[in-house]
Chain A
Amino acid sequence: MSLPFLLEIGTEEIPDWMIPGALENLRLLFEKLEIPHESIAMDATPRRLVLRAEGLPERQADSEERVMGPAKSAPAQAVAGFARKQGIQPEDLAVEATAKGEYYCFTRKVAGRASKDILAEALPGLILAINFPKTMYWTAKGGPRFIRPIRWLVALLGDEIVPFEIAGVHSGALTSGHRRLGAREIAITAADYEQRLRDHYVILSAEERREKIRKELAGVRIKPDPALLETLVYITEYPTAITGGFDAQFLELPEEVLVTVMRHHQKYFSVEDERGKLAAQFVAVMNIPADPEGFVRRGNERVLRARFNDARFFWETDRKKTLLQRLPDLKNVTFQAKLGSYHDKTKRIMGLVRQLGGKPLSVRAARLCKCDLTTEMVKEFTELQGVVGGLYARADGEPEAVWQAVYDHYKPENMDDAIPRNLAGQYVSLADKLDTLIGCFGIGLMPTGSRDPFGLRRAAQGVVKILVEGKINVRLLDVLEGHESLQAFFADRVRFYFEEHLGFAYDEVRAAMASGWNDLKDLEARLNRLQKLRSSPDFEPLAASFKRIRNILNQAGWQAECPVDPALLEAGPEQDLYEEYGRIAGQPIEHVIAKLRPKVDLFFDKVLVNAPDARVRQNRLALLHTLLAEFSPMADFSEIVTHS
C-alpha cells in the first residue's frame, strides 16, 4: 500500500531569507533516509516548514541476511548452539563450501521495518539537523537548537500520526492557522491540509502568495524589485498589497533617499509615473486579506511621513556645510586602528589616483569621496554612503565628472553590479579598493576560509571588473609590486572573473594567464582570440603538439636560449618546419595555424628529436623552443586540455 506523508514543523517567525535554503536542506535530509517515494513537495510560510511526499510504502521490502556458522567439522555442541541462536533446529542449517572449507550457514529473512517506525526514529534528529545560519535555544541551557522555537509538529503517514517529540512538543495532527484570523488548533488530514490552512488564512504555497501579490500590483506602475517581492512572500502567510500616498512636497528630496526609506526601512515598493519619475505613492504588502477601513494604509502613511520628515531634516542640516568643509572631520573617523583615519585614507586614495594616471578632476573626486561619512544622512542610511556624497557634491555645484565619481565609487558592489559610469569614478573606486587591499594585507588581515570581514574578495573582484570592463590602462602587477601575497590573491580573483563571470574555460584562462596578466584588458583580448581559435580544427592537434614540445623540453632540462643553427638541420620535415617558422614568425597565430600544423605533425612523425649526435639533438631542442616561444606572448598552449 502506498501512503502520503506530511511533515509540518510549526515555528515562530523564521527570518524570510533563510526559508528557501532551509526547505532545500530539509528535502535533502529526507531523501537521505532512503525511504522510497514517488514525489516530494516543499512549502513554507514564516511559521511552518512543510514536506509532503507521495507514495511511501507502509513497510520497507523484506530482505535476506546470510549468517555464517561454525565449520562442518566443529563439535555438535557448537553447531547446536549456533542453530539455537538463530532460533532453528540444527537440521535446518545449510552447508556452504568456502575457500576455507565447508561451513554451516543460515539465510535469515529480515522483515522490512514499518516506514512509520523509521520516520518516528529519524525525524527528531533530521529536523534539528536542518542547517540555519544562526540558531537559538529556548527551553533551557543545553536544550535543542533551532532557528526559532518549535511550537507544534504535524507528522502524518497516511491517517496515522508518526509519533515523536522535540523540546517537549509532541507530533500530532493539529496545525495552526493565521495568528489572528485563524484558529490556534486545526485538525487536519494529509488530504485536506492545504485547504484547511486556506480556510484559516494561510496560503501555503509560496508561488501562490507571489502570484497574489503580483496580480494585486498589476494596476500600479511599481519599480520592479524581485528581491523585495521574495522577502514579502516569505514574511507573510496571507499577503495583500495596498497602495498609499505621501505629500508630493517630499519629492523635492533626492529620489535615492526616498526609495531607500521605502525599500529598506519600510519594505514598500516605490511607484513611478508615466515618465518614469518617482510618484508620491507606495505599495505595502500586509499580512491580512483586506483593509476596508483604511487603518493599515493610514498607519503606514503616517510612519512614512515621519521618516521622510527625518530625511528632510538630515538633508537641511547636512547642507549647512559643503562636502569639502567636512574633510577635516574625517580625522575623527577611524578606518582601521593600524591604518589610520579616513582622512589618512583619503590622502592615500588621492595618491593612488594620481599614480594610476588620474587627472585633476579624478583627484578632486578622491578628495571628496569619503566626506559623506560625517553626514547625518549617512549615519541614518549607511547603505547610501557614496550616493549621498554624490548628491551633496552635485548640490555644492561640483562638476558632473566629480559628483558622479563620488556617487559611484563603491561600485561594483557585486559581480552583477555595473562599474562606475565615468573614468574619474573608475579611478577613485580602483584606488579606494586597492588601498584597502594593500593596507589590510600589509597588517596581516587577509581573508581566511569563509571569513572576510573587510570584504577583500569583493574589493579585489571589483578591481578586476573595473580594469577589464573599463578597459583601463593600468598594469595591475606593477601597482602591486612588492606585495607578493596580494598578487597571488589577485591571481585567484582574475581566474574567477574570467571563468565564472565571463564563462571562459579554465584551461583557456590558465593558458592565457601563463603568458602574463599584468594588463587585464590585454588578457581579455587574448582570451577572446584563444576562444575563437579553439573552434579551428587545427587547434587541438597543435595544442597537443605544443604540450609534447613542452614535455620534451622539460625532460631535456632545456634552458639555453641558443639560436637554431640552420647548418645542422636535416633536409625534409625538420628543414621544412624551420622554413615554415621563418615565413610565419611575427604573424598572429590565427593566420598561420592551418599552415603550421601539418609541418609540426610531420616533424614529430618523421624526425627523432633525441638524435644520437648531441649537437643535432641540441639544435632540434632549440628549434622546438623557438617555435613555442613564438606564440607564448599570447598564451601557453601547452596548458590547453586536449582530448586526443
Chain B
Amino acid sequence: MQSFQDIIFTLKRYWADRGCIIQEPYDVEVGAGTMCPETFLRVLGPQPYRVAYVQPSRRPADGRYGDNPNRLFKHSQLQVILKPTPDDAIEQYLGSLEAIGIDLRKHDIKFEEDNWEAPTLGAWGIGWQVMLDGLEITQFTYFQQCGGIDLDLVPAELTYGLERLAAFLQAKDSVYDIEWAKGFSYADVRYRDELQYSVYNFEAADIPTLWKLFDLHEGEAARLLKLYDPKAADKRRFPLLPTYDHVLKCSNLFNTLDSRGAISVTERVGIIQRVRKIAVGVAQAWADQQQEAAQ
C-alpha cells in the first residue's frame, strides 16, 4: 500500500519530470494553495513558469475537533501551475493519476463544469472538478483573471485534494485512518492540530485581539502599497512580497474571526472588500514591477 507521503513523493517526481520546479509549502498561513505567491503572483505577467508544491491549507470554519471523518481544519493540497498551459495538460494530469496507481480504464473519470472564483483576490477561472468514481479529487482551472488583471498567458492550475486521494487509494472511510508513513496514521500526525485549532478557532480566540491584528496587518499592507512608485528607477527593490504576506495574514484572520462567529453577514461584505483592496493592489503593483523586469 502506498502511504500518504509515498503518494506525495510520486506526484512531485511526476511533475518534476515534466519541467516543474518543486517548491516547499509557503511559510505564511493560507486558506488555499492558490493564495501562495507562487500561484497568485507568478501567474501574472508574460514569463512562463511551472511549479508544484504541497500546501497545507487552513479553513478555520471547516474544523470539527477531529471528530468528523471527512472534514478538516487543515488539509493538504498539491498545487501545480503550468504557465502557459500545454496543449496536453489534461493528458498530463491523467498521467499523474496513473503514476500513483489508478488504472483509469477501470475507473470512472468525469470532468464536471466548475468555474472557480475568489472575490477577495479579484481572481477567476474556467474549469472543472474532476470526479473519480464519484469523488471530487481535483480542481482543474484555466486562470483568466488575477487581481482584476487579464492574464497574458493562460496558466492551468491543478489542485489535488491529497487526503481524499489517499483515502481513495487506501480504501479508508476516515481520513484519520490514512497511513501517513509506515507505522504512522494521519491521526498520529494531525489529530492534535485538528482538535486544538478547532478549540481556538471556535472558542478560545480573543476577538478584540484578532481585530487588532487584522487592522495592524491591513495598515502595514496599505502603508507599503502607498509607497510603491511605478516610475521609480529602482522599483524592483520594492518589497511587494512582504506586503503580500500581510494580505495573507489578513485573509487568515478574517477566516478565523468568521469561524469564531465574530463577523455578521452585513459586515462580511465590507471585510471582503478590504482584503480585496490590498490583494488587488499588490497584484497590480506586482504586474507593473514584472513588466519592468521583462524589458
Q: Is chain B found bound to chain A in the same assembly?
A: yes
A residues apposed to B, CB below 8 Å: 12-13, 15-16, 46, 134, 136-141, 143, 148-149, 151, 179-181, 184, 235-236, 266, 268, 284, 286-288, 291, 293, 295-296, 298-300, 302-306, 309-310, 313, 332-334, 337, 341
Whether the pair A286, B108 counts as a contact (CB closer than 8 A) is: yes
- Cβ–Cβ < 8 Å partners of B144 in chain A: 136-137
Q: Which residues of B contact A140 (CB under 8 A)?
A: 84, 152-154
Docked-complex contact A134 and B69, CB < 8 angstroms = no
User: Other than the known A180-B109, A302-B135, what 20 A-B pairs have Cβ atoms closer than 8 Å?
Assistant: A15-B113, A16-B113, A134-B115, A136-B144, A139-B84, A141-B151, A143-B154, A149-B87, A151-B87, A288-B108, A291-B106, A296-B106, A296-B133, A298-B171, A299-B107, A299-B134, A302-B168, A303-B134, A304-B134, A332-B264
Please give me the residue from chain B that is nearest to A140 by CB atom: B153
The yes or no answer to B185 lying at the interface (CB within 8 A) is: no
Contact indicator B133/A13 (Cβ below 8 Å): no
**A148 to B135, alpha carbons, bound, how many Å?**
23
B residues within 8 A CB of A13? 111, 113, 128
Instruction: From known contacts A303-B134, A303-B135, infer whether A288 and B105 are also in contact, taking CB-CB under 8 Å.
Output: yes
| CB-CB under 8 A for A287 and B70, given A136-B144, A303-B134 | no
Which of chain B's residues have a CB closer than 8 A to the CB of A266? 134
**A299–B135 touching, CB < 8 Å:** yes
Which B residues lie within 8 Å of A337 (CB)?
A: 266, 269
What's the nearest-Cβ distance from chain A to residue B152, in Å?
Answer: 5
The reply to whether A148 and B126 contact each other, CB–CB distance below 8 Å, is yes
> Which 9 A-B pairs rank lowest in CB-CB distance, beginning with the nearest?
A299-B133, A286-B108, A15-B113, A13-B111, A300-B134, A136-B126, A180-B104, A334-B265, A303-B134
Residue pair B153, A332 in contact (C-beta under 8 Å): no
- Chain B residues with CB under 8 Å of A137's CB are 144, 154
Q: With a CB–CB cut-off of 8 A, which chain A residues contact B153? A: 140-141
A287 and B110: CB pair below 8 A? yes
Q: Which residues of A contact B108 (CB under 8 A)?
A: 284, 286-288, 291, 296, 299
Q: Are B126 and A134 in contact (CB under 8 A)?
A: yes
For A134, what are the chain B residues with a Cβ–Cβ distance below 8 Å?
115, 126
> CA–CA, A304 to B113, complex, Å?
20
Q: Which residues of A contact B106 (CB under 8 A)?
A: 288, 291, 293, 295-296
**Within 8 Å CB of A180, what residues of B?**
94, 104-105, 109
Complex Cα distance, B2 from A121, in Å, reads 54
> What residue of chain A has the Cβ atom nearest to residue B136's Cβ?
A303
> Is B150 on the interface with A (CB-CB < 8 A)?
yes
B142 an interface residue at 8 Å Cβ cutoff? yes
**B99 interface contact, C-beta 8 A:** no
Bound-state Cα–Cα, A212 to B61, Å: 44
B79-97 contact mask (Cβ, 8 Å, vs A): 1 or 0: 0000011010011001000
CB of B112 closer than 8 Å to a CB of A: yes
Give the Cβ gap from B239 to chain A, nearest Cβ, in Å: 28
A642: min CB distance to chain B, Å: 52
Contacts of A309 in B (CB 8 A): 69-70
A–B pairs, 29, beta carbons within 8 Å: A13-B113, A15-B113, A136-B142, A136-B144, A136-B154, A137-B144, A138-B154, A139-B154, A143-B154, A149-B85, A151-B87, A179-B104, A179-B109, A180-B109, A184-B91, A286-B133, A295-B133, A296-B106, A298-B133, A299-B132, A299-B133, A302-B135, A302-B171, A306-B70, A310-B68, A310-B70, A310-B71, A333-B265, A341-B265
Residue of A nearest to B61 (CB): A379
A285, closest chain B residue (CB)? B108
- By beta carbon, the residue of chain A nearest B128 is A13
Residue of B nearest to A147 (CB): B126
The interface centre, meaning the residue of A139, A303, A313 with most chain B CB atoms within 10 A of its CB, is: A303
Contact A299/B168 with A151-B87, A180-B94, A180-B104 known, Cβ cut-off 8 Å: yes
> B265 near A296 (CB under 8 angstroms)?
no
List residues 221-245 of chain B with CB under 8 A from any CB of chain A: none
Q: Within the assembled complex, what's the spacing in Å between the Cα atoms of A140 and B265?
A: 38
Q: Contact check, B107 vs A305: say whether CB atoms are below 8 A apart.
A: no
The yes or no answer to B215 lying at the interface (CB within 8 A) is: no
Q: Which residues of A contact B203 (CB under 8 A)?
A: none
The chain A residue sitting closest to B135, CB to CB, is A303
> Across the interface, which residues of A come within 8 angstroms of B69, CB to CB?
306, 309
B90-148 residues at the A interface, CB under 8 angstroms:
90-91, 94, 104-113, 115, 126, 128, 132-135, 142, 144
Q: Which residues of A contact B269 (CB under 8 A)?
A: 337
Whole-angstrom distance between the alpha carbons of A268 and B108 in the complex?
14
How far is A309 from B134 in the complex, measured between Cα atoms in Å? 16
A12: contacting residue among B70, B111, B151, CB under 8 A: B111
Q: When the two chains form their complex, are residues B70 and A46 in contact, meaning their CB atoms are under 8 A apart?
A: no
* In the assembled complex, B188 has its CB within 8 A of some CB on chain A: no
**Contacts A180-B94, A299-B168: A141 and B265 contacting too (C-beta < 8 A)?**
no
* A-chain residues with CB within 8 Å of residue B70 when the two chains form the complex: 306, 309-310
Contact indicator B173/A302 (Cβ below 8 Å): yes
Query: Measured between alpha carbons, how far is A141 from B69 in the docked complex, in Å?
Result: 43
Considering the chains assembled together, what is the distance between the CA atoms of A568 and B221 in angstroms?
93
A284 adjacent to B85 (CB under 8 Å): no
Residues of B within 8 A of A305 (CB): 173
Shortest C-beta distance, B146 to chain A (Å), equals: 12
In whole angstroms, how far apart are the Cα atoms of A149 and B90 in the complex? 11
Closest B residue to A136 by beta carbon equals B126
The distance in angstroms between the C-alpha atoms of A179 and B68, with both chains bound, is 35
B227 CB to closest chain A CB (Å) equals 29
